[in-house]
Chain A
Amino acid sequence: MNGPIRKVTVFVSLLMAALLLNLTWIAVVRADSLNEDTSNRRVRDAEFSRNRGAILVGNQPIAQSVPRGGRFPYIRSYPQPEIWSSVTGWYSYDYARSGLEHTYNQELAGTSSGQSVGRAVDLLTGRRSRGANISTTLNPAAQAAAVRALGDQRGAVVAMNYETGEILALVSTPTYDPNRLATVDLTAEREAWVELLDRPDEPLKNRAVREIYPPGSTFKLVTAAAALEDGMVPSTEVDSPDSLPLPNSNRSMGNSTNCGGTRVSLEQALKTSCNTAFGNLGLQLGADKLLEQAEKFGFNQEPTIDMTAAESVFPTELDEAQTALTAIGQFDVAASPLQIVQVAAAIANDGVLMRPHVVSSVTNSDLTVLSSNPSERLSAPLSPSSAEHLQQMMIATVEDGTGRPAQIDGAVVGGKTGTAQTAPDRPPYAWFVGFAEEPKVAVVAFVEDADVERNDISGGRLAAPIFKAVVEALR
């Protein structure tokens, strides 16, 4: 009987080998995807109980982990939630994370590859490892002023130092309290989530960077830049009829303001936000030149800011009527407030666009700098002379045009209003984008529910005061 016993023994060793091979397979092949599975509570719990680093404005934390005992030894806390939620985003057990909590998750959690040496040291010395701190470029006064000025309205503000690219304020309203989502009381967390998600004013949307809207007349800055780059000067005159028939269509473009004549200078056209003049400019320049100029400012490109941001869109393959509409910021062109502030910042910075960034440096818990985010030139969308011309035109717009509500005593300010008509049953969007020479800042203010009559001044009336409040907070 020994023969069969030997054969059975071989069979059994094959069974055992299969078990060992399968375990090897789990460790080598399956483990990674299993650990990345979002329903893997072990990984999520471990992540959620980590002592994450703080997000700092100056030396003040706007997001920090505070000790709490129990299954989750630390909990995320936001000291001024309503002011900073647009930047920090939320950090939740069931609903992932957003904002800087999302983009700098590895650094905050201490799991980035740059922190592996520190982790090893912590492991050897038996210390509980701690995540890195994130220092931001934000300015508390500007941020608070923006939140206050936006008030109950749905909208956004982005303020940027155009010489360095540092974001000074980044607000999307209505804001919310991320503390409600950071709780370990999962029932309360779920209720808060459902409530925030169901609210008609959609507080969880980040309107400053993650949404795109028709830019309306603020896009005339791009059209004007294309015209100046094409060799025109502020005094170049264009036809500005009361009504511009759109080529190959039975529709025509009208003006909502008095252009000041049927043939006006470029400067005059920008000051009065004259639709027909810019429509004509668009037709003269052609879709290709508009597209080229828009892409230089950052349209149709992945945003370079260190937060999750939406790509702004300049449509391609336009016919003539669509080109005229696009030149005044209508039709399918869509931009985030961040994109529009980039346009103003490049103009104000003599044609050079600095890379916008929110985080200045990442610092380990022992204060060694893990990485820093220096100011750097991103591109040069227009020549210094065109930029200077456009600055003058924007300053004139505020001194003596649709941008008058943005005037600030004792400061040189340039700007452009915008009102974007969307669907007929929805109120138009109000925009104001501008810059100040002292402090050197470009600011965009965007109000989604401009609940007033449809004329071009609403951008000036609704959004310009917000611009003004933010600039004044920075002085």
Chain B
Amino acid sequence: MSAAVQPAVSAEVIVFRQRRNVELVLIAFAQLFGFVGWVLTHLNLYDVLPENLTTVAAIWFGLGLAAHLVVRFRLPYADPVILPSVFLLNGLGLAMIYRIDQIPEPPRTDASTQLLWTALGLGLFSAVVIVLRDHRRLQRYPYLLFIGGLTLLLLPLIPGLGVTSGGAQIWIRLFGFSFQPAEVAKILLAVAFAAYLYEHREVLALAGRRVLGIELPRARDLGPILVMWLASLAVMVFQNDLGTSLLFFGLFTVMIYIATERPAWPILASILFVGAALAANAFTNHVPRRVNAWLDPFSNYDANLQIISAQFGYAWGGLFGRGWGLGRPGLTPLAKSDMIAAAVGEELGILGLMAVILVYALLVARGFKTALISPDGFGKLLAAGLSFSFALQVFSIIGGVTRLLPLTGLTTPFMSQGGSSLIANWMIIGILLVISHRARVPQAATAAPQSPQQIDDLTVVIAR
């Protein structure tokens, strides 16, 4: 990070460089990966360049330019690496979906739909950037957002509205469109947690008694936490969705830990989660099957076909992969959505997938960096929570596909096929960039006093 320390009127102020030109070059470079992947797929499969080469190039690079311009004019101090990382991942996802489209005869057109969703996602991203301007405006209605998020999360349980697909009841169908409300719930709940926890962090941290060396909170402060735990338990049991329940509970735990700085919270949460997981293992059919498919997939080729063929794909791809269009990702069920990491591993190789994981890691790292330098506590919490949700999502889905842990049905952010996930994640990037801009903008230039930082520092002193 290049930063220059400049003297200001009252104190020393760190002035970050804007780095907008760097961002533009990085975006164009990142977009090349997906674009070249698409062209290579076409060349490898059909030996000719795609007919609509220039049109697609214009649309794709135009989208990158548009996103850049919005950021350049609205958030000139935003982190310059976040947006290129997202374009890299989104482009690779699009190219891979296009590649898998080519397997059936006639080819499908899911990639075009996904490109449309990408454009819509970028539209919402721009809307967030333009309309929100200051993330602190999100701080106002924690309970409303909390109830809204919970409602969305549990919406698929309503009979007639929820749709069961692949064993999990996580979709709703409305006016002919299916939608995964958990993706939007993720944003609402993250904002609500951040607001609630930021407001209550002192009580949560300080009031309570010590039991066995762990400081337990008061019962009334425990309320919302227990509600969250029960909600994720409900998701796990009734919606058969391990991934979402893990995601929300993990998000909540990390945010409460950051807000209170008390390790007791993650310890307590881990105990509760393990209890819930054991209960799910004992009382549901879904969870033990997943655990068995993880530990010993080859005991049943038919039932564990998906995870087994993903493993075969990795072995077939080897270190360097078969190349775009030259593998057999179609042999893995759900290669476009849940198992896109398997398709990447097969065609781009173990090394290619490692590179993708590192890009995710870079994105998450920039998110945490934003949290660290953010002057206000709410922004810190929100940036850290959203970054952590990306990390947890990537870890559990890629870890599941590679048999590091039981397979959970989560989307791979920005890569998996699916509109709700894509637009939700683009909106999250919008919020992150807004926080990042607020964090990096020269402090003297903003009119608002930076009181949150002082309170934050004060809190630390009291806590000790």
What A residues does B309 contact at CB under 8 A?
A: 41
Q: For the complex, what is the distance from the CA of A45 to the CA of B312, rounded to whole Å?
A: 13
What B residues does A316 contact at CB under 8 A?
A: none
Kindly identify which residue among A1, A26, A43 contacts B314, using a CB–CB cutoff of 8 Å: A26
A122 interface residue (CB < 8 Å to B): no
Interface locus among B223-231, B356-364, B418-426: B356-364
Q: Is the CB of B402 within 8 A of A23?
A: yes
User: How far in angstroms is the closest Cβ of chain A from B304?
Assistant: 11
Q: Is the CB of A20 within 8 A of B381?
A: no
Binding site for A on B (CB under 8 A): 254, 257-259, 261, 298, 301, 308-309, 311-316, 318-319, 327-328, 331, 345, 350, 353-354, 357-358, 360-361, 364-365, 368, 371-372, 377, 380-381, 384, 387-388, 391-392, 394-395, 398-399, 402-404, 456
User: How far in angstroms is the closest Cβ of chain A from B458?
Assistant: 12
With A19-B404, A22-B399: A40-B357 Cβ-Cβ less than 8 Å: no
Q: Is the CB of B319 within 8 A of A8?
A: no
Q: For the complex, what is the distance from the CA of A39 to the CA of B305, rounded to whole Å?
A: 10
User: How far in angstroms is the closest Cβ of chain B from A30?
Assistant: 7
Q: Is the CB of B354 within 8 A of A23?
A: yes
A31 interface residue (CB < 8 Å to B): yes
User: How far in angstroms is the closest Cβ of chain B from A1?
Assistant: 5
Q: For the complex, what is the distance from the CA of A39 to the CA of B331, rounded to whole Å?
A: 12
Query: Which chain A residues in 1-44 approach chain B with CB under 8 Å?
Result: 1-6, 8-9, 12-13, 15-16, 18-20, 22-24, 26-27, 30-32, 34-35, 37, 39-43
Q: Is the CB of B388 within 8 A of A12?
A: yes
What A residues does B357 contact at CB under 8 A?
A: 16, 19-20, 23
Q: Is the CB of A9 within 8 A of B315?
A: no
Q: For the complex, what is the distance from the CA of A27 to the CA of B398, rounded to whole Å?
A: 15
Q: For the complex, what is the distance from the CA of A32 to the CA of B257, rounded to whole Å?
A: 43
> Can you pick out 10 interface pairs between chain A and chain B where the beta carbons lie within 8 Å of each other?
A1-B380, A8-B388, A16-B394, A19-B402, A19-B404, A20-B358, A31-B314, A32-B315, A37-B298, A39-B301
User: How far in angstroms is the closest Cβ of chain A from B30?
Assistant: 19
Kindly identify which residue among B257, B301, B372 contacts A2, using a CB–CB cutoff of 8 Å: B372
Q: Is the CB of B258 within 8 A of A8?
A: yes
| Residue from B298, B316, B377 whose CB has the most chain A CB atoms within 10 Å | B316
Q: Is the CB of A40 within 8 A of B315?
A: yes
Q: Is the CB of A5 within 8 A of B368?
A: yes
With A1-B380, A23-B353: A12-B372 Cβ-Cβ less than 8 Å: no
Kindly identify which residue among B364, B381, B398 contacts A19, using a CB–CB cutoff of 8 Å: B398
Q: For the complex, what is the distance from the CA of A5 to the CA of B261, rounded to whole Å?
A: 9
Kindly identify which residue among B331, B345, B380 contacts A41, using a CB–CB cutoff of 8 Å: B331
User: How far in angstroms is the closest Cβ of chain A from B433?
Assistant: 18
Q: Is the CB of B381 within 8 A of A1?
A: yes
Q: Is the CB of B360 within 8 A of A1?
A: no
Q: Is the CB of B312 within 8 A of A37?
A: yes
Q: Is the CB of B361 within 8 A of A4?
A: no
Q: For the complex, what is the distance from the CA of A47 to the CA of B415, rounded to whole Å?
A: 32
What B residues does A1 contact at CB under 8 A?
A: 258-259, 261, 377, 380-381, 384, 456
Q: Is the CB of B404 within 8 A of A43?
A: no
1/0 contact string of A35-69 vs chain B (CB within 8 Å): 10101111101000000000000000000000000
Q: Is the CB of B384 within 8 A of A26?
A: no
Q: Which residue of B lies closest to A8 (CB)?
A: B254
What A residues does B319 contact at CB under 8 A?
A: 27
What A residues does B365 contact at CB under 8 A?
A: 9
Q: Is the CB of B311 within 8 A of A26?
A: yes
What A residues does B311 contact at CB under 8 A?
A: 26, 30, 34
What A residues does B328 contact at CB under 8 A?
A: 41-42, 45
Count of chain A residues with Cβ under 8 Å from any Cβ of B?
32
Q: Which residue of A lies closest to B298 (CB)?
A: A37
Q: Is the CB of B331 within 8 A of A42?
A: yes
What B residues does A42 contact at CB under 8 A?
A: 312-313, 316, 327-328, 331
Q: Is the CB of A23 within 8 A of B350?
A: yes
Q: Which residue of A lies closest to B369 (CB)?
A: A9
Add 13 more A-B contacts to A34-B314, A35-B312 (CB < 8 A). A12-B391, A16-B364, A18-B404, A19-B399, A19-B402, A20-B354, A20-B357, A22-B399, A27-B350, A30-B314, A37-B312, A39-B301, A40-B312
| Residue from A2, A8, A24 whose CB has the most chain B CB atoms within 10 Å | A8
Q: For the complex, what is the distance from the CA of A328 to the CA of B307, rounded to whole Å?
A: 60
Q: Is the CB of B312 within 8 A of A41?
A: yes
With A15-B395, A22-B404: A34-B388 Cβ-Cβ less than 8 Å: no
Q: Is the CB of A16 within 8 A of B395?
A: yes
Q: For the complex, what is the distance from the CA of A26 to the CA of B259, rounded to whole Å?
A: 38
Kindly identify which residue among B261, B298, B313, B388 contacts A3, using a CB–CB cutoff of 8 Å: B261
Q: Is the CB of A19 within 8 A of B316?
A: no
Q: Is the CB of A26 within 8 A of B350?
A: yes
Q: Is the CB of A34 within 8 A of B315?
A: yes
Q: For the complex, what is the distance from the CA of A2 to the CA of B269, rounded to whole Å?
A: 21
Q: For the complex, what is the distance from the CA of A34 to the CA of B257, rounded to whole Å?
A: 42
User: How far in angstroms is the closest Cβ of chain A from B251?
Assistant: 11
Q: For the complex, what is the distance from the CA of A26 to the CA of B315, rounded to whole Å?
A: 7
Q: For the complex, what is the distance from the CA of A4 to the CA of B261, rounded to whole Å?
A: 6
Q: Is the CB of A22 within 8 A of B402?
A: yes
| Residue from B261, B312, B319 whose CB has the most chain A CB atoms within 10 Å | B312
What A residues does B259 contact at CB under 8 A?
A: 1
What B residues does A2 contact at CB under 8 A?
A: 372, 380
Q: Is the CB of A5 within 8 A of B384?
A: yes
Q: For the complex, what is the distance from the CA of A24 to the CA of B5, rounded to whole Å?
A: 43
Q: For the complex, what is the distance from the CA of A41 to the CA of B314, rounded to whole Å?
A: 13
Q: For the complex, what is the distance from the CA of A1 to the CA of B376, rounded to whole Å?
A: 10
User: How far in angstroms is the closest Cβ of chain B from A29?
Assistant: 11
| Residue from B315, B318, B353, B392 whose CB has the most chain A CB atoms within 10 Å | B315
With A1-B261, A16-B361, A18-B404: A40-B381 Cβ-Cβ less than 8 Å: no
| Residue from A1, A8, A32, A34 whose CB has the most chain B CB atoms within 10 Å | A1
User: How far in angstroms is the closest Cβ of chain B from A324?
Assistant: 53
Q: For the complex, what is the distance from the CA of A34 to the CA of B309, rounded to whole Å?
A: 10
Q: Which residue of B lies closest to A42 (CB)?
A: B316
Q: Is the CB of B371 within 8 A of A16?
A: no
User: How far in angstroms is the closest Cβ of chain A from B243?
Assistant: 15
User: How far in angstroms is the closest Cβ of chain A from B345?
Assistant: 8
User: How far in angstroms is the closest Cβ of chain A from B100?
Assistant: 15
User: How far in angstroms is the closest Cβ of chain A from B358?
Assistant: 8
User: How far in angstroms is the closest Cβ of chain A from B143?
Assistant: 22
Q: Is the CB of A19 within 8 A of B395?
A: yes
Q: For the complex, what is the distance from the CA of A26 to the CA of B398, rounded to whole Å?
A: 13
User: How far in angstroms is the closest Cβ of chain B from A111?
Assistant: 15
What A residues does B395 contact at CB under 8 A?
A: 12, 15-16, 18-19
Q: For the complex, what is the distance from the CA of A416 to the CA of B380, rounded to whole Å?
A: 97
Q: Is the CB of A26 within 8 A of B402?
A: yes
What A residues does B301 contact at CB under 8 A?
A: 39
Q: For the complex, what is the distance from the CA of A3 to the CA of B368, rounded to whole Å?
A: 12
Query: Which chain A residues in 261-286 approach chain B with CB under 8 Å?
Result: none
